[in-house]
Amino acid sequence: MVKQISILIVDDEESVRDSLFNWFIEDGYRVECAEDAKQALTRLESSEFDIVLADIKMPGMDGLEMLRRIKSLRKDSIVIVMTAFATVDTAVQALKDGAFDYVTKPFDPDDLSHLIRNASKQIHLEDENETLKVHLSSLENVENLIGNSEAMRRVYGEIERVAHSAAPVIITGESGTGKELVAKAIHANSPRKFFPMVSVHCGALTESLLESELFGHEKGAFTGAMYNRKGRFEMADNGTIFLDEIATISTKMQVELLRVLETKSFMRVGGNREISSDFRVICATNKDLKSMVEAGSFREDLYYRLNVVTIEVPPLRERLEDVPVLVDFFIRKYCSAMNRTVIPIDDAALIKLQDLTFPGNIRELENMIERALVVGNGKRITVKDLPFIKDSQGSSVESLDELEKGHILNILIKYSWNISAAAKALKVDRVTLYNKIRKYDLKSPR
């Protein structure tokens, strides 16, 4: 459904406000008025408007200053500047400050209506683009769900069975098994696939940050809340919300989450307006929630509210027959990222990989392949390019330089080649790390 565009008219002349209000109400917009910039900014703190029509000459604060303040809070806001005293300087300044357009009084109703329609089209296109980006992102990640083992075929069957319902799903499995990919596959195959799938990593946020992230907040709700912000539940309207590491949320958040799941409504932090959202919830955890219920650390009513369907993702050690196809996928992925020709893996190296237990699961295998491509000779991946295998075999001891090179590379990969984060983890300064990278000829894959 196309959303209704909202317009805020800001003008100190009552006759102008009344005329514009009546025009746009008849055209089907939601319209409110403010008689000066101060009143307008107060309205913008409590409500969201898609378009602001602002007069330049007003008592207290002029329209150009108000335009700059609006843009400093929301740079994508659409503000149309109006004036009865048009000059080239003010027109240029308004457009430089980010105004969508500049119109002069008296207005031609047809011209102004045409301008508002163009602004509305831009807003609808931006909304559609955001929805499409999220959808495409989901589809791309479905391709990453790889494996033809019996264990994975069972997972595919469960995804197919639950995708078309609206039932909550809990995805269980060890870290690194691909639980989020399973969630994305459910969403991408569901009737909600054309709407966003919004992910929240519950374990990475404190209770207060998680509350703000899920429910959103109003400006001034807490220190640093500079403007109103939508929460993830609101953003997931008509789509899916994925709550990763659900077992980590506090008792207070468990109560609030249960209420939202039962009513599908909530209030932003610091707000007093009830907001409704139609979302499907999918959770993931590497904990035994039933044991947590028995131990009293997870609410029983929330557990049964979430646990309508459970999908267990197998660890890699239980589907080692998928290792070759996963290795091939990761080689192609990182060769493409490095702009290199795809190289094969040695048979001996592949057999050795299938002998491992992979405590880090698929994430561990992926890191090993990426590392082998970075440090290898570029013709094929061999056993000596896979240091974890070499270590486990008790092969010849590496030199200190080789050990240092391998350790630095592992840290760089772990922090996605973020030099500051890697240097901090290694407890060295950035210059030292750069010197080591040059010394060992380490190269970022991207």
pLDDT tens, position by position, 30-73: 999 999 999 998 888 777 888 999 998 888 888 888 988 888 87
Question: CB–CB of 236/198 below 8 Å?
Answer: yes
DSSP code per residue over 95-111:
HHTT-SEEEESSPPHHH
Q: Is the pLDDT score of 310 beyond 90?
A: yes
Nearest Cα neighbor of 16 from 31, 3, 35 is 35
Q: Is the pLDDT of residue 323 over 90?
A: yes
Q: How confident is the model at residue 173, as a pLDDT?
A: 93
Beta bridge partners of 230: 216
The Cα–Cα gap between 316 and 322 comes to 8
Secondary element (H or E) of residue 229: strand 229-230
Q: Provide the pLDDT confidence category of residue 299 given band limits of 50, 70 and 90.
A: very high
Q: Looking at residues 379-399, what average pLDDT do you find? A: 65
For residues 281 and 261, is the Cβ–Cβ distance under 8 A? Answer: yes
Number of H helices, E strands in the chain: 19, 14
pLDDT at 324 over 90: yes
Average pLDDT along the chain: 85
Residue 137 pLDDT grade (very low, low, confident, very high; cuts 50, 70, 90): low
Q: Which two tokens stand for residue 402?
A: 């080789």
pLDDT in the model for residue 392: 45
What is the separation of C-alpha 72 from the centre of its chain, rounded to a whole number of angstroms?
Answer: 23
- Indicate whether 162 pLDDT > 70: yes
Q: Which of 4-13, 119-128, 277-286 has the lowest mean pLDDT?
A: 119-128
- Give CA–CA dist 59/255, Å, rounded: 49
Distance CA 439, CA 46 (A): 56
CA-wise closest residue to 119 among 167, 27, 179, 51: 51
Residue 30's DSSP bridge partners are: 6
Judged against a pLDDT cut of 50, whether residue 394 lies above it is answered with no
How far is 386 from 347, CA to CA, in rounded Å?
13
Dump pLDDT digits (tens) for 66-123: 988 888 877 778 999 888 876 777 777 888 888 888 888 887 878 888 889 999 888 8
pLDDT number for residue 443: 72
Query: Given this model, what pLDDT does residue 124 score?
Result: 82
**Of all residues in the chain, what percent carry a pLDDT higher than 70?**
92
User: For the residues 188-217, what does the mean pLDDT come to?
Assistant: 89
Q: What integer pLDDT is reported at residue 391 of this predicted model?
A: 47
Q: CA geometry: angle at 415 spanning 410 and 417, to 5°?
A: 85
Q: Contact, 255 vs 212, CB < 8 A?
A: no
What confidence score (pLDDT) does residue 86 get?
66
Given a cut of 70, whether residue 393 has pLDDT beyond it is no
Query: How many degrees, rounded to 5, is the angle at CA 153 between CA 149 and CA 158?
Result: 150
- Residue among 79, 104, 105 nearest 94 (CA): 79
- pTM value > 0.85: no
Structure-block tokens of residue 338 = 């490095």
Residue 39: left (phi > 0), alpha (psi -120 to 50), or beta?
alpha
Tokens 């054309």 correspond to 194
3-15 pLDDT per residue, tens? 788 999 999 999 8
Q: Is the pLDDT of residue 150 over 50?
A: yes
Percent helix, percent strand, percent coil in the chain, to nearest 5: 50, 15, 35
Run of H or E including 78: strand 78-83
3-state SS, residue 284:
strand
Q: CA angle, 254 as apex, 248 and 255 as ends, to 5°?
A: 165
* pLDDT average, residue stretch 414-425: 81
| Token couple for 102 | 């500049």
In whole angstroms, what is the distance from residue 71 CA to residue 96 CA? 11
* Residue 286 scores a pLDDT above 80: yes
Q: Is the peptide bond before 106 cis (omega within 30 degrees of 0)?
A: yes
Q: Which helix (H) or strand (E) holds 353?
A: helix 347-353
Contact 56, 64 (CB under 8 A): yes
**What is the mean predicted confidence (pLDDT) over 271-276?**
86
The two three-digit tokens of residue 228, written as one number? 């109103």
pLDDT at 418 over 90: no
State residue 136's pLDDT score: 57
Q: Residues 402, 334: contact at Cβ < 8 Å?
A: no
